Amino acid sequence: MFVLSDKKEKLEDIKFLNMADIKKFTWEVSKKQLDNLQKNKILKQEKIKIYNKNHFAIIKSNQFKDWTETEAIKDANEEIGLFLKHLPKE
């Protein structure tokens, strides 16, 4: 799970949410956003992106290839690109 913040500096001491919080967040958002298309993505093991006001999560398979450092950087770059693309022009 990624957390958006106003900090301009790199955070050295990262606090992870516990599994109960992650499950609660995922359940709340999934009730609103998991339509039939996304359910099919789960079956095909495609990644799903879930957003709320302060957080976003990426759900994907538990295969090692989906959880490497390189894959995390790729996911982060993709999200930053989408964020920048939707910024106001001025």
Is 25 a residue whose pLDDT tops 70? yes
Q: What is the mean pLDDT of the chain?
A: 76
In DSSP terms, which residues pair with 55 in a beta bridge? 3
Distance CA 14, CA 31 (A): 28
Q: What is the pTM of this model?
A: 0.49
What residue type is 23 in one-letter code?
Answer: K
Residue ranges covered by each domain of the chain? 2-85
Helix, strand or coil, per DSSP, at residue 4: coil
Is 70 a residue whose pLDDT tops 90? yes
Which two tokens mark 88?
């106001």
The residue-averaged pLDDT of 72-90 equals: 87
pLDDT score, position 78: 92
pLDDT score, position 59: 83
